[in-house]
Amino acid sequence: MRTRKWRRGLAVLAAPLIGLITLSLAPLAPASGVTGATESGDAPALMPGQAIAAVGNIQGTLGVPGDVDMYDFCAAGPFSAEVTEFPANTGGAHDSELFLFYANGAFITANDDIDYWGGNRLSRINHTMPTTKAHYLLAVGSFNITANGSPITSWDSSGTATGAYTIALTGVVSCTTVPGKVDTSTTIETVDPVSPSYGQTLSFDTMVAAVTPGVGTPTGTVSYEVNTFAGTPEESGYVAFDPASDSLPVGTHDVRAVYPGDDDFNGSTSNAFVVTVDKADTTTTITGVAPLMRTYGVTLSFTTTVAPVAPGAGTPTGAVTYVVNKFGNSDVPNVGWEAYDPATDVLPAGTHNVEALYPGDDNFNDSRSDTFVVTVDKATSTVTYLGDYLAIVGNDFTFKANVDSAVPDCKGSRSVTFKLTDGTTVVRSFTASSGAGGAVTRTVSTTGWTPGEFDVLVQVAESGNCTAADNAAAMDLITVASPGAAATGGGWYFWKESGAAKRVNFGFAVSQQADKTYKGSLLLMNQGAWRLKGTMDSFTRAEAQGQAGGTGTLSQWVCTNQSDPLTCSWQNPRAVSFKISFTDLAAGKAGGKKTVVVVDQFALSQISLKGSTLPVSLLMPLKGGNIVLR
């Protein structure tokens, strides 16, 4: 009678029970009180083997070269088998081999030589079995033999020894335990789920039944044990396993059900039931990205979750990597994708598809996230005008500006346009390219320019990753002036030489750079016959009325033909220092401009004018002139 009583935990497919052949063994004549068993005929080389009782030794014979004998026995706890007598092979050596298997033929362990270097080439196996009694298989043969498969399916044997052998045994017990009790058979029939994933709990369908001719219903509880290294010769053997709570790692495992018995029934252990645990599937999801304001030049940080797919359970381990598709080809997997490290790689401006890749680990399969769309804005750029503010018609004029951005890539190689406007119309336009640090310079000729006041508009063109920029909100004012007295502001100085009055006219233009900071140019003209140009790079007055200093150059206007301006040019530049005092004469002309008196004294020992020498002592203060401050 068979009874279904125990269903617990996790499992897979049932392995068939290995049938055992029980033979009538003629006991050996006791040797020193030890009972033995003898080989009956030629013991089988494979399962189920020849059954033996609870004896102290086995005696048998290798009938032909290559012969292997297998025996079935029961054991519980510590077990040993040692070859004590063995025939010699063709080389004269007494060289045996022993193999130990589970009842289903799965390999447990083997031994070739007890002490090879000491000359003892007989074999010994010491192994601790589970405390629950079970069937095992012991095979003996002559070196060299190899077991194929686990469970074993065949032998490769090149042994040459033939003749009688003796194997001493300890730990062998009777396969029927308590007299008067009914033997039982325990069988794991099914497992739910059939193909479990990592993290799932298992439920075994296990049967315990009385062995015929016994009858009745066994009572009690079945426990389970597992050999995590199914079919491999691991010394760890079986360990306790609770399917309701213990999670088996990925791989193939042998699970056995153990019935402990009760008052009327002997205990029994099932054959190994093979359970294969697969890796659990996972899902990978990008749930967010920081920062919220994403501009070119900023690295990103993604929040990504990897979770097992039910019914799998547990915590996936490892690192997530990312790929990016900069061309939006997410509908064509793996086309256009490239590796992307958010911690170091900067995405260009635009819209990008980002996906996270989880590579999997020992217990979890890999997975790839859905597409996460990231939009990166262009980096902000600004531009500041830093060039000259006074242009003298006929001379070169230099535009300067600086392109700035928090991203270095947005400073250099930018297309910059300088435009002079009269408020409504662009009258002049020049382009240049910024250097690596953002500085941009463009020097142009002012020949043909119309005198007047103009706004300078600086425009930076948009680039692939950088915004456009301009100074339209605060444009700078540039004065274009004619040479000589026609320049903004003017005056003269005179002296007497040989009783005759001498007079030199001058023009002067100054523009305000910052608080109390000015810049400008000085032109001297001797009634059109000669002139000098002084360029003051910068000078600052310390207060509304007082002294100011500056440095610059003084150049002479030299003409091959005084009547032909095309033969003239500025030559002989000399470094000079200027000393200038400003006197505020209050409001000037309409428009709120200020009128000042400019007094100039060159810090030179002399000034050469058209071949003649003008001593400093003869210089008179500069007189008159309305100097416009801007």
Reported as a single tens digit per residue, the pLDDT across 400-418 is 999 999 999 999 999 999 9
- Is 80 exceeded by the pLDDT of residue 486? no
State residue 399's pLDDT score.
95
What is the distance in angstroms between the CA of the first residue and the CA of the last residue of the chain?
116
Higher per-residue pLDDT: 144 or 593: 144
Reported as a single tens digit per residue, the pLDDT across 582-608 is 444 333 333 233 333 443 444 443 333
Indicate the pLDDT class of residue 610, thresholds 50, 70 and 90.
very low
Pairing of strands 163-173, 68-85: antiparallel
What CA–CA distances, in Å, run from 83 to 30, 52, 158?
A: 18, 16, 19
Instruction: Report the range of poorest mean pLDDT among 9-23, 159-173, 281-295.
Output: 9-23
Q: Where are the domains of the chain?
A: 36-173, 184-277, 282-376, 381-481, 484-618
Segment of 167-181, 321-335, 370-384 carrying the highest mean pLDDT? 370-384
Tokens encoding 379: 């980096």
Query: Count of residues for the chain?
Result: 630
- Is 90 exceeded by the pLDDT of residue 197? yes
- 455: β partners: 421, 477
Higher per-residue pLDDT: 402 or 29: 402
Q: What is the mean pLDDT of residues 487-516?
A: 49
Q: What is the mean pLDDT of residues 442-466?
A: 92
Fold adopted by 36-173: Jelly Rolls (2.60.120)
- Is 80 exceeded by the pLDDT of residue 339? yes
Higher per-residue pLDDT: 292 or 468: 468
Segment of 40-44, 519-523, 561-565 carrying the highest mean pLDDT? 40-44
Tokens encoding 6: 């125990």
| Number of other residues whose CB lies within 10 A of the CB of residue 2 | 13
Taking a C-beta distance cutoff of 8 angstroms, is the pair 600, 461 a contact?
no
C-alpha radius of gyration, the chain, whole number? 53
- Is 50 exceeded by the pLDDT of residue 199? yes
Q: Is the peptide bond before 266 cis (omega within 30 degrees of 0)?
A: no
Please, what's the b/e burial string for 247-260 (b: 16 or more CB within 10 A of its CB; e: otherwise)? bbebbebbbbbbbe
Calculate the CA dihedral of residues 565, 569, 572, 573 and round it to 10 degrees: 120
Q: What is the mean pLDDT of residues 308-314?
A: 93
Fold adopted by 381-481: Immunoglobulin-like (2.60.40)
Cβ-proximal residues to 588 (8 Å cutoff; 6+ apart), any chain: 594, 595, 626, 628
pTM comes to 0.50
Phi (first) and psi of residue 423, to 5 degrees: 110, -30
- Is 90 exceeded by the pLDDT of residue 125? yes
State residue 17's pLDDT score.
28
Indicate the pLDDT class of residue 333, thresholds 50, 70 and 90.
low
Handedness of CA 336, 341, 343, 345 (dihedral sign): negative
Share of the chain above pLDDT 70, in %: 68
Query: Which SS3 state, helix, strand or coil, does residue 617 take?
Result: helix
- Is 70 exceeded by the pLDDT of residue 28? no
- 602: β partners: 578
State residue 550's pLDDT score.
54
Phi (first) and psi of residue 126, to 5 degrees: -115, 125
Do 36-173 and 381-481 share a fold? no
- Is 90 exceeded by the pLDDT of residue 37? no
Rounded-to-integer distance, Cα 84 and Cα 98, Å: 12
State residue 237's pLDDT score.
66
- Is 50 exceeded by the pLDDT of residue 619? no
- Is 50 exceeded by the pLDDT of residue 397? yes
State residue 623's pLDDT score.
40
175 secondary structure, DSSP code: S
- Average pLDDT over the chain, rounded to an integer: 76
**AA identity, residue 37:** A
